[in-house]
Structure 1
Amino acid sequence: MNEATRAGQGLSPEDAQTYAGWFRALADPMRVRLLNLLAEERRPLTVGEITERLPIGQSTVSHHLKLLAEVRFVLPERQGASVRYEVNAACLECFPAAVSAILGRQP
């Protein structure tokens, strides 16, 4: 969150752009479920492990993870030939603050 937002001058164009990207990433119910799965597991998972737990194929899981990684909700971690994904813990702090800023509530 930038200084203008903290000073009560509304959202900056940059913050509005960032927050819109976050909400676009969460606009799909399966991405919300995928993010929830990773949050509940509390450990990095491979695409294969995620595919075993959700009713979608591997390419769709990969697509959703790519979109979530672009907005940094998930963090990829390469281990040898595979990639494991985990929830970005910073999102647990930033997202509620973003919602408060959008709604005009001061932290």
Structure 2
Amino acid sequence: MPDTSCERAAAEEYARWFQALADPTRILIVRFLSGRPEPVPAGVIVDHLGLHQSTVSHHLKILHRVRLLTRRRAGASILYAVNARCVTQLPRAAGILLGSPARPHPQAGPD
């Protein structure tokens, strides 16, 4: 019998990711960060998007809350990066949504 509790937990996590990505600004943030080899200070994201710092901070908080982004303090700055786990799991989540055969869910913990 399949472990539906694991499937349910994965589905709930994927739903949170898709909900967080249901905003164009957050998609632009993830896209910008995914092209960077190193974590980026919030101010660089603000400059790139040309939005107010408070607006970008709000979106970064949402993306971090669902673990699409990682963050760490470096002096007075907070550096953001795309969660490496999401790089592999987000396409898998889209595949499941679209009916692709499911593969085993890695047990890697979130950052």
Taking structure 1 as the reference length, the TM-score comes to 0.83
* Match runs of 1:1-107 below 5 Å: 4=3, 12-106=7-101, 107=103
- State how far apart, in whole Å, the 2-side matches of 1:91 and 1:17 are: 14
Q: Name the amino acid aligned to 1:101.
A: I
- State how far apart, in whole Å, the 2-side matches of 1:15 and 1:100 are: 13
Q: Which runs of 5+ in 1 are unaligned?
A: 6-10
Deviations 1:83-105 (A, max 9, x none): 10011111111111112222332
- State how far apart, in whole Å, the 2-side matches of 1:58 and 1:18 are: 28
Q: Which runs of 5+ in 2 are unaligned?
A: 104-111
Equivalences, count: 100
Taking structure 2 as the reference length, the TM-score comes to 0.80
Q: Secondary structure of the equivalent of 1:12?
A: helix
Identity of counterpart residues, as a percentage?
A: 42
Q: Measure how far apart 1:39 and its partner are.
A: 0.9
What is the RMSD of the two structures over their aligned residues, measured on CA atoms?
A: 1.8
Deviates more, 1:53-62 or 1:12-21: 12-21
- State how far apart, in whole Å, the 1-side matches of 2:85 and 2:28 are: 19
In the TM superposition, structure 1's runs of 4+ consecutive aligned residues that sit over 4 Å from their partners are: none
